[in-house]
Amino acid sequence: MTLNLRSQLLPEAATGPDTGMHVHLGPTAGTDTRANRLEIHPGVEPVAPDTYVESWTTRGRARAEHQGPLQLLEYPEVLFASWQGPDHGLRTQTEQAYRDLLGACHARGFGHLARIWNFFGDIHGEEDGLERYQAFCIGRAAALETLAIPQAGMPAATAIGGTQRRLVIYLIATRTPATALENPRQVSAYRYPERYSPKSPTFARATRLDTTDGPLVLLSGTASIVGHESRHPEDVSAQARETLTNLRALHETAGRHLPPPRWLRVYLRRPEDRTRVAAVLAEHFNDYCPGPVVQWAQGDICRRELLLEIEGVHA
């Protein structure tokens, strides 16, 4: 069965005191847009001047549930879910969040994860003698072990440090299988050496779904990493080129016949790097008309030497 699932970045004027990046998970146009919609505020700030809303839509009648920090929006083919709570005791909080989220998916018959996003504050701070990103990885791994979910069975994902001291996770799950994709230029994240974390990151480089509109490829947060090692420290333009080379390799793995990305989000450690990175993107997508819609956000990347990360969607 092909899936009805669409994704786009929609421009929206920034109004009111809360102008941070936000996400809409929910109904197609013309339906009740607020009663049956999850609105996520990850705690990541957009880089001016543009403001977009990440929008994911499907069809059918939704059933919404709210259980403490867990929110669910269930459609016939797709489950949108989020978990939001404090990020102190990050290892324990992450384990609980993943157990809640994945348990809810399986209990409702959505046994296939398509995409996960993770945001929390002070990503390079110390917690219990570990870097907080490592604590996050350990908590996630503990939940997967408890639920007997294999590392290679996880989907595309992003983990970014935000400005708020909150743990925000949102995901998309389906009843039909998705195809996990790996990048031939990179070691699979779940096979990273232990020097990066006592428990490896757990995600695929991309996920491919078959939808009513054609193939949908969901790109993980991708950085200037070849093999398992970071490349071009302190050179943001070179990191951008290496990242785009990784994304091109993923495109070829998913299928050269696929269109270019519909949208990309660029997370910048330093907002002042936007001009240089934008020039690299313009050169890379020069042959495409139109090129992808690009959103710019300020966020901390999982390794201190990495200055940017790019995620997005081919559709």
Tokens of 226: 């070849």
- DSSP-derived letter for residue 194 is T
- Tell me whether strands 6-11 and 130-131 are parallel, antiparallel or unpaired: unpaired
> Nearest to residue 69, comparing CAs of 42, 96, 103?
96
> Nearest to residue 169, comparing CAs of 177, 157, 154, 180?
157
Query: For residue 50, how many other CB atoms are within 10 A of its CB?
Result: 14
Residue from 54, 77, 309, 311 carrying the catalytic annotation: 309
User: Within 13 Å, how many C-alpha atoms sit on residue 247's CB side?
Assistant: 30
Tokens of 284: 């890379």
Helix, strand, coil % (nearest 5) of the chain? 25, 40, 40
C-alpha torsion angle, residues 118, 29, 46, 220 (rounded to 10): 40
Distance set, CA 286 to CA 53, 118, 229, 246 (Å): 25, 31, 29, 17
For 226, the 3-state DSSP assignment is strand
CA distance 60 to 170: 20
- DSSP-derived letter for residue 15 is -
φ and ψ at 33, to 5 degrees? -80, -20
Length of the chain as a residue count: 315
DSSP line for 166-177: EEEEEEEEESS-
Active site residue 145: no
Q: Which residues are catalytic?
A: 309
